[in-house]
Structure 1
Amino acid sequence: MPAVHGHCDERFLAVRAAFEANFRERDELGAAVTVLVDGQPVADLWGGWADGARTRAWERDTLVNVWSTGKGPTALCAHILADRGLLDLDAPVAAYWPEFASAGKQGVLVRHLLSHRAGLAGLREPHTLDELYDWELTCARLAATEPWWEPGTRSGYHALTYGFLVGEVVRRVSGLLPGEFLRREVTGPLGIDFTIGLPEADAGRAAELVAPKPDRARRAAVFALMEPVAVASLLNPPSGAAAANTPAWRAAEIPAANGHGTARAVAALYALLAGGGGPESRPVLSEKAAERVREGQGSCRDLVLGAGFEHETEIALGPWLSGPNGSYGPNPRAFGHDGAGGSCGLADPEAGIALGYVMNRMGPLIADDPRKRALIDAVYASL
Structure 2
Amino acid sequence: MTYDIAVHGTVAEGFEGVREEFAAVLAEETAEPGAQLAAYLDGRPVVDLWAGDGITGDALTAVFSSTKGAAHLVVALLVQDGVLDLDRRITAYWPEFTGGGKERLTLRDVLAHSAGLIGADDGFTLDELADDRLIAARLAGQRPHWEPGTAFGYHALTIGALTGEVVRRVTGRSVQELFEERVRAPYGLGFHLGLPEALEPRYVPIRPLVPTPEQLAELQANDAGPDSLTAIAFSAGAKPPIDLVELVNSRTTRALSPASVGGVANARGLAGMYAAAVGGLDGAAPLLKPETLAEFGRPHLLGTDLVTGTVDGFGFGLGFERVRQSYPFLGEGSIGHAGAAGSQSFADPVNKVAYGYTRRTWAYPGGAAPENARLAQAVIRAVEAVR
Counterpart in the other structure of 1:201:
198
Paired with 2:183 and 2:335, the residues of 1 have a C-alpha distance of 20
Change (3 A) 1:241 1:357: same
Residues 291 and 272 of structure 1, relative CA distance in 2, 3 Å threshold: farther
Task: Name the amino acid aligned to 2:162.
Answer: L
Query: Could you tell me how far apart the structure 1 residues matched to 2:328 and 2:188 are?
Result: 26
Matches within 5 A, 1:88-237: 88-214=85-211, 215-224=215-224, 228-236=228-236, 237=238
Question: Which shifted more, 75-84 or 221-230?
Answer: 221-230
5+ long unaligned stretches in structure 2: none
| Separation in structure 2 between the aligned mates of residue 276 and residue 95 of structure 1, nearest angstrom | 34
Tell me the equivalent position of 1:32: 36
Aligned to 1:353: 353
1:240, 1:380 → 2: CA distance?
Answer: 32
Deviation at 1:270, TM superposition (A): 2.0
Aligned residues of 2:64 and 2:248 also touching (Cα < 8 A)? no
Aligned equivalent of 1:259: 263
- 2:191·2:270 contact (CA, 8 Å) conserved in 1? yes
TM-superposed CA distance for 1:225, in Å, is 6.4
Tell me if the contact between 1:170 and 1:176 (Cα under 8 Å) persists in the aligned partners: yes
2-side partners of 1:353 and 1:7: how far apart? 17
Deviation, 1:281, is 2.5
- Offset of 1:108 from its aligned partner? 0.7
2:124–2:235 CA contact under 8 A, matched in 1? no
- Residue 169 of structure 1 aligns with an amino acid whose one-letter code is V
Q: 1:316 to 1:272 in 2, by over 3 A?
A: farther
Given that residues 6 and 46 in structure 1 are in contact (C-alpha distance below 8 angstroms), is that contact kept between their aligned partners in structure 2? Answer: yes
Please say if residues 128 and 135 of structure 2, whose CA atoms lie closer than 8 Å, have aligned partners that are also in contact.
yes
Q: Cα offset for 1:132? A: 2.2
* TM-score, reference length from structure 1: 0.91
Percent identical among aligned pairs is 36
Determine the C-alpha separation between the residues in 2 that align with 1:370 and 1:24. Answer: 14
- The answer for unaligned runs of 5 or more in structure 1 is 50-56
Distance in 2 separating the partners of 1:171 and 1:80: 14
Q: Does 1:279 align with 2:282?
A: yes
Residues 207 and 360, structure 1, Cα contact 8 Å, conserved in 2:
yes
| Cα distance change, pair 327–155 in 1 and its aligned pair in 2 (3 A) | farther
1:236-268 Cα deviation digits (max 9, x unpaired): 452322332222222233111110111111012
Give the CA deviation at 1:9: 1.9
- Contact 2:43 2:283 survives alignment (8 Å): no
Q: Does 1:269 align with 2:270?
A: no
Greater alpha carbon shift after TM alignment, 149-158 vs 65-74? 149-158
| Cα deviation code 1:172-193 (max 9, x no counterpart) | 1221111111001111112112
Q: Say if 2:191 and 2:264, in contact at 8 Å, map to a contact too.
A: yes
Q: Aligned partners of 1:104 and 1:271: how far apart in 2?
A: 38
Contact 2:133 2:165 in 1 (8 A): no
Taking the aligned partners of 1:107 and 1:17, their CA distance within structure 2 comes to: 52
TM-score (norm 2): 0.91
* Alignment-derived partner of residue 246 in structure 2: 242
The equivalent residue for 1:52 is none
Deviation at 1:3, TM superposition (A): 1.6
1:336 aligns with 2:336: yes
Shift of 1:332: 4.6
Residue 375 of structure 2: SS of its match in structure 1?
helix
Q: Is this contact kept in 2: 1:199–1:251, CA < 8 A?
A: yes
**Could you tell me which residue of structure 1 aligns to residue 378 of structure 2?**
378
Cα deviations across residues 289-327 of structure 1 (Å, max 9, x unaligned)? 122221221321111111xx464412111212134x443
Contact 1:157 1:304 in 2 (8 A): yes
Q: 1:369 is aligned with what amino acid? A: A
